[in-house]
Amino acid sequence: MFKQQESDLKRAFAEDGALKTHVGGQALIEGIMMRGKYNWSVAVREPDQNIYIEEHDLASGLPKNGWLRWPIIRGVTAFIESLMLGYKALEIAALHAFVEEPEEGEEGEEGGEFGHKEMVFSMVLGLVLGIVLFIVAPAFITNLIVGEYDDHTLAWNIVDGILRVAVFVFYIWLIGRMKDIQRMFGYHGAEHKTIHCYEHGLPLTPENARSFPRLHVRCGTAFLIMVMVLAILIYTITPLNALIAAWGVPDGPLKLTLVIIVRILLMPLIAGVAYEITVKWAGSHPESPLVKVILWPGMQMQYLTTREPDDGQIECAIAAMQRVLEREELEAAQEPAAQPA
């Protein structure tokens, strides 16, 4: 089905080592989501070992060339869109990964007790937990260690940044000890291997995909590490001290609260800059020595967030990828017909 596409990919691979592609994905509960130019698809391994596949058009209400697509701003836009899409994909996976086996004379129910309300609650709880763990707690501990923010600004931001990274690494290590999360990390590895296989122009089979590394330069893990590193720089150059002096903010809880609020407000800017570095620049120049140096911490972190997948997990990744490629092949075939004679 993809002979022409495979031929094009092989030519690209021969000329430049690997195809620079836009396809991305996300590990789910017993499954994978893949996202292309026109659609996104979810492949979930059900309890009966069948693969459930669902796809949707990739529709954005934002103009392609508006100000929301400007550099840095487009990173914030993409992050919000990815969160919304990831939520939908996780909901689909939860409904099909936990299908209850019906007893004799009863009809099966999808999703068990884990439904829409539980997903919303878990997402809100995760957001609050993230703010507490990665912004509030490091700031509070740093204030105890270093002292007031405006007395030791540079040291304060460095210690705060180190604590933030340490909390993140420990958190990933801790949840990675859970069996369900280990399975999800395996799907994360399968996603990367399948994308590598596609980018290198090989037929999408478990055998071919298995030969590639489980790390990928465009991984969201690398993005998160870049966010934390950039935060140290951006927080340091932000003229918060001038604001503290102008407002006469007293030492103690009030000053610390102001520091935390400013950190939260600056997160969209930090995310936008990180997007330009990890997705736009690094994604377009994966073989650049400078890219490898800058993204090295994020790449190493992927050893914690990915695991070597089994063939069943790779099959799910391939099934999701094929739906995306089928749609792109269809759109490509219709382009000439859409042009005026």
320 within some domain: yes
More confident residue, 112 or 212: 212
């590394």: which residue's tokens?
A: 213
Residues 99 and 46: their CA atoms lie apart, in Å, by: 7
Residue 13 banded pLDDT, cuts 50, 70, 90: very low
The strand pairing partners of 32, in sequence order, are: 27, 43
Instruction: Map 283-308 to HEC letters.
Output: HHCCCCHHHHHHCHHHHHHHHHHCCC
More confident residue, 97 or 156: 156
Whole-structure pTM value: 0.83
Q: What's the confidence (pLDDT) of residue 240?
A: 94
Q: What's the confidence (pLDDT) of residue 16?
A: 44
50 within some domain: yes
More confident residue, 233 or 17: 233
4 within some domain: no
Task: Specify the number of domains making up the chain.
Answer: 1
């749609």: which residue's tokens?
A: 327
Q: What's the confidence (pLDDT) of residue 159?
A: 97
Given phi > 0 = left and psi -120 to 50 = alpha, else beta, which region is 339?
beta
Q: What's the confidence (pLDDT) of residue 341?
A: 45
Q: What's the confidence (pLDDT) of residue 10?
A: 41
Structure tokens at 54: 């669902």
For residue 338, pLDDT over 80 is answered with: no
Contact 209, 196 (CB under 8 A): yes
- In this structure, which long-range contacts are made by residues 177-185, counting pairs with CB atoms below 8 Å and at least 24 apart in sequence? 180/29, 182/307, 183/30, 184/27, 184/28, 184/29, 185/27, 185/305, 185/306, 185/307
Q: What's the confidence (pLDDT) of residue 1?
A: 42
Q: What's the confidence (pLDDT) of residue 15?
A: 38
Residue-number span of the structural domain to which 226 is assigned: 19-100+110-136+146-338
Residue 315 banded pLDDT, cuts 50, 70, 90: very high
Determine the length of the chain. Answer: 341
105 within some domain: no
Q: What's the confidence (pLDDT) of residue 83?
A: 86
- What's the pLDDT tens digit per position in 195-243? 999 999 999 999 999 999 999 988 888 889 999 999 999 999 999 999 9
Residues 259 and 312: their CA atoms lie apart, in Å, by: 47
For residue 283, pLDDT over 80 is answered with: no
More confident residue, 77 or 65: 77
For residue 110, pLDDT over 50 is answered with: no
Q: What's the confidence (pLDDT) of residue 62?
A: 55
7 within some domain: no
Q: What's the confidence (pLDDT) of residue 11?
A: 38
For residue 14, pLDDT over 50 is answered with: no
Q: What's the confidence (pLDDT) of residue 157?
A: 96
Q: What's the confidence (pLDDT) of residue 45?
A: 96
For residue 185, pLDDT over 70 is answered with: yes
6 within some domain: no
Residue 17 banded pLDDT, cuts 50, 70, 90: low
For residue 252, pLDDT over 50 is answered with: yes
Residues 106 and 131: their CA atoms lie apart, in Å, by: 44
66 within some domain: yes
269 within some domain: yes
Q: What's the confidence (pLDDT) of residue 7?
A: 43
